[in-house]
Amino acid sequence: MRRSLPYAWSVVSSVAAEVAEPGVEVADHERAPPGGTERGRTLNQSPELRNC
């Protein structure tokens, strides 16, 4: 996922890091994709993940 969906990876990684902090029970993501390509990749699975 890191190579095929770098934007999605950064979102998941940042939320996971935030919720791992002591005292944090909920984390969310409010950052919009930087462009249409990233948005499309996030909404459509990458070819590598379609056959999983």
Residue 35 maps to a domain: yes
pLDDT score recorded for residue 44: 67
- Report how far residue 50's alpha carbon sits from residue 4's, in angstroms, rounded to the nearest whole number: 12
User: What's the pLDDT tens digit per position in 8-19?
Assistant: 888 889 889 988
Element (H, E) at 34: none
Range of the domain at 34: 6-50
Look up tokens 């791992």; give the residue: 20
Residue 29 maps to a domain: yes
Residue 25 maps to a domain: yes
User: What's the pLDDT tens digit per position in 18-35?
Assistant: 889 999 888 877 777 777
Are 35 and 28 a contacting pair, CB within 8 Å? no
- Report how far residue 26's alpha carbon sits from residue 28's, in angstroms, rounded to the nearest whole number: 7
Total domains in the fold of the chain: 1
pTM of the model: 0.57
Residue 1 maps to a domain: no
Residue 22 maps to a domain: yes
The sign of the torsion formed by the CA atoms of 34, 27, 2, 45 equals negative
